[in-house]
Amino acid sequence: YYFEDKGHEAGKFLRQNPVLKKQLEKKELMFLENGLTQSPKNIRVIGTGGQTLQAVTAHREILKLEPVDWQRTALVLADENILLPVLNNLPAAVPSVNVTMGMPVKHSPLSGFFNLLLEMHQESESLASKDAKGEAAFHHRIWDDLLSHYHFREALGAKSAEVEKLRKHIREYNYIYLSLAEVQQHLSGEIPAAVSALFKDHLGKPGQLFEHLRLYCLWFKEKRKSATHQLELLYSFYSLFSEIGGLLEQNDYIGDIKTAHQFYRSLLQSETLDLYGEPLSGLQIMGMLETRTLDFENVVITSLNEDILPKGRSQNSFIPFEIKVEMGLPTFLDKDSVYAYHFYRLLQRARNIVLIYNNHTDGLTTGEPSRYIKQLEFELSRENPGLKMIQHTASARIELDHNVLQVKKTPAVMERLQEMCRKGLSATTLIDYINDPLEFYYKRVLQLHETEEVEEEIGFNTQGTVVHEILEELYSIENEPEKGSLKELSPSLQAFSLLHKEVEQLVVDKLSGKYRFKKLNQGKNYLVREILTRMITHFLAREKKELQKTPVRIIGLEQKLEWELDLDDGSHVKFIGLADRIDKREGLIRIIDYKTGGVQRGELSVKSWEEVIKNGKKAKAFQLMMYAWLYLRNNASCSQVESSIISLRNVNEWNMPLSIQGKSEISREALTLYESVLKELITEILDPILPFAKKNLPLIGDDQT
């Protein structure tokens, strides 16, 4: 088929072979066959997305065969980078395999470990971070990755529980840079010397670092006496580190770890670990070149994409293509002919053929199937009447529950809701339910939260917390009354005479001390530091100005409020709140909530409480009313209060009170209506029949699409 067709690239080198030419002239070429055109062939072409899905699809096709046929089956990887997904997804039903190619060392977990170490030192070299004792400190992200790595845990001899506790501690206390000594404090065992040497300061000493890596490989070999797959990998890295160490010793002008790391990555590309198996039994997993002269009844080929098979126009030469053709030099067309021969040679005696290609477009990957598929479809099908070809696309289907947008209240859910009612419901918790009952279920009932991460840039939550803490400390210093008494604020108090630099120092001390932010003189953190300083400075200046008009007495700072409400069925629900500040001005009790974000007066204006529980846009008004209600219920002698917000972002607005039907004073008459709304809301939450459902979903009718 491809030998006699002078236009077919697969037969190019056979037609040029002088021995075959001579035999053909003598008509003694007796071993020409017509397997491609005369034997029946079932060909299935499957498009999939990504390497893993290709591996899964290939195994699925192999499992369709009878087990006795597996020994007559070849799984051919046109792209050998897919080997690990193929091995990782190997079905348990396949008893044995023979892998004829080497596994790239760069894809091994051990490679990831050493790469983390080199990245750690490369970053440390550029930042030169130190701890309080002058020891080299490394970034928390790489520490977290290292502590998650099974090899590092094994090297440390640390228990999983204490390592996880250490990782949590790093996130909780916001450690951005840590030295080995700081890590050691949280581990029970002593860190081995071979491991400690890897974390020394190797600034400008790449040769020393690679020598320590080489010695580490020797140390770990002694730690793991048994001959394992990991030891073979370890020897590959030992040889690699020795080679790089020799290069660095001979060429002393390489003085930084970044350059040495590039040499390491370049040499690692060619390192492979040979895999050994029984070539006469089991499923054969091989590369395209390993299939030469072999025949299989069943063939599955993966990664059959253009630019993979054939390779495409790779011009690794300064000689132009036209000159190569004129002078008879090899071109990419010759390479295409070689791969075309291997492809068609493999299909000659195969009966069941599965061709899998990646149809996913990503970056340089075009998702274009190989031209060989089209050649089979349009050329070979005309020559072979027994060829049956089917093409389709495979996808990883995910079956979704049709009730995914609502969750029923099981007995366990009801028990959790009762527990929440006993411990106390805050305004924020109820606002979560008003905004989205399903989100309330995930966040409050199941207590699912985003993973806590180390903050390198000061987040909004931290900004608000820092401002609240500094204001509380300033006012607490100025006001230390006896229990139950009131302390008057006056313009002469020390807090109101603080200079901008003094406030700035308070902010810096808080951020660098409790929250462990180190780089406060550059980037976004510098801007945030200045914003917080200006917020507090402007707040104190405006407070002093207001006090010159009217005196104020502080009643409480960060005061906890709570009250139990009786429901109609006789049960009790506890409500809790934390008021930033409670004071008394001109005989009126004010409950003040500080906000570092922007606040509009319209958000604090309420016409009816039924509107609030159906509209999440009035969340701030709901919160302020909760504070007022809790305070009035706990203080029977108080007839009315004002509940308000001071936005530190815009202190010109100053005190913005909650307005109910145009009135800013909240009297006891308003409590009854608010309590009825609270009871309605709690009854809805505790209703076992009513599921948690997604809010504000569009209803699709006959006239909508």
pLDDT, tens only, 1-22: 999 898 899 999 999 999 988 8
Predicted local confidence at residue 173, as pLDDT: 80
Predicted local confidence at residue 226, as pLDDT: 63
Number of helices and strands in the chain (H, E): 27, 22
Q: Which two tokens stand for residue 435?
A: 């905004």
According to DSSP, the residues that pair with 582 across neighbouring strands are 556, 591
Q: Which two tokens stand for residue 260?
A: 């040495």
Burial class (CB in 10 A: 0-12, 13-18, 19+), 259: middle
Q: Which two tokens stand for residue 180?
A: 């080995």
Distance CA 562, CA 577 (A): 6
Q: What mean pLDDT, rounded, does the chain reach? A: 86
Predicted local confidence at residue 400, as pLDDT: 54
Q: Which two tokens stand for residue 334?
A: 């010759």
- Report yes or no on whether pTM surpasses 0.85: no
Contacts of residue 318, defined as CB under 8 A and 6 or more positions apart, other chains included, come to: none
Q: Are 434 and 425 in contact (CB under 8 A)?
A: no
Distance CA 323, CA 341 (A): 25
- Segment (H or E) for 345: helix 332-347
The answer, yes or no, to whether residue 681 has pLDDT greater than 80, is yes
3 state SS for 97-154 = EEECCCEEHHHCHHHHHHHHHHHHHHHHHHHCCECCCCCEEEEHHHHHHHHHCHHHHH
- DSSP secondary structure of 426-472: -HHHHHHHHH-HHHHIIIIIS---PPP---SS--HHHHHHHHHHHHH
Predicted local confidence at residue 422, as pLDDT: 93
Contacts of residue 339, defined as CB under 8 A and 6 or more positions apart, other chains included, come to: 288, 309, 310, 311
- 397-456: pLDDT as tens digits: 655 555 557 889 999 999 999 999 999 999 999 999 988 899 899 999 998 877 777 777
Predicted local confidence at residue 705, as pLDDT: 26
Distance CA 96, CA 111 (A): 27
- 31-80: pLDDT as tens digits: 788 889 999 999 999 999 888 899 999 999 999 999 989 989 999 999 88
Contacts of residue 700, defined as CB under 8 A and 6 or more positions apart, other chains included, come to: none
Look up tokens 């815009």; give the residue. Answer: 650
Half-sphere exposure of 550 (CA within 13 A, CB side): 8
Q: Are 529 and 512 in contact (CB under 8 A)?
A: no
Half-sphere exposure of 257 (CA within 13 A, CB side): 22
Q: Are 642 and 632 in contact (CB under 8 A)?
A: no
Predicted local confidence at residue 227, as pLDDT: 57
Q: Is the dihedral of CA 377, 378, 380, 385 positive or negative?
A: positive
According to DSSP, the residues that pair with 656 across neighbouring strands are 645
Distance CA 386, CA 392 (A): 20
Query: Higher confidence at residue 488 or residue 363?
Result: 488
Tell me which amino acid residue 120 is.
Answer: M
Q: Are 592 and 646 in contact (CB under 8 A)?
A: yes
Contacts of residue 400, defined as CB under 8 A and 6 or more positions apart, other chains included, come to: none
Q: Is 569 helix (H, G, I), strand (E, B) or coil?
A: coil
Tell me which amino acid residue 681 is.
Answer: L
According to DSSP, the residues that pair with 561 across neighbouring strands are 577
- 579-588: pLDDT as tens digits: 999 999 988 9
Angle between helices 140-148 and 160-172 (to 10 degrees): 160
Running DSSP on this structure, what letter comes out for residue 104? E
3 state SS for 613-660 = HCCHHHHHHHHHHHHHHHHHHHCCCCCEEEEEEEECCCCCCCEEECEE
Q: Is the dihedral of CA 309, 314, 319, 321 positive or negative?
A: positive
